[in-house]
Amino acid sequence: MYVIWAYPQVRFVGQVSADPGGYVETYDPDARGGSGRVSLTRRLNNALRFRSLNDAMKFAHQVPRMRPRRADGQFNHPLVAAFALEFILLQEETHAE
């Protein structure tokens, strides 16, 4: 299983963000007119989980139906544009029987 950690993007040279980010808990690419809305959590138990890296990457790169392209004509990927993403493989839990 994979989870996604999102670090806020720093937009200006020399600017440092004090926000360390969090695990993606919810994400709606169509919210706010296609600008997207994400909810982050520091609790691993609340993080969205994905069966594979491919599933996690497809989720992160969703294109909003409301505004599929940016002003420059490129596809709109709000989550990727707003955050630097780390895809984390969770260790399998083993239970003794």
**pTM, two decimal places:** 0.83
Q: Calculate ∠ Cα 83-85-89, nearest 5°.
A: 155
- What is the 8-class DSSP label of residue 75? B
Q: Does residue 29 have a pLDDT over 80?
A: yes
Q: Does residue 20 have a pLDDT over 90?
A: no
Distances (CA, A) of 24 to 15, 18, 19, 44, 58: 23, 18, 14, 9, 14
The runs of H, that is alpha helices, within 1-97 are: 31-34, 53-60, 78-82
* Mean pLDDT for the stretch of residues 22-39: 94
Structure tokens at 49: 């989980």
Which phi and psi (to 5°) does residue 28 adopt? -125, 105
pLDDT band at residue 12 using 50, 70 and 90 as cut-offs = low
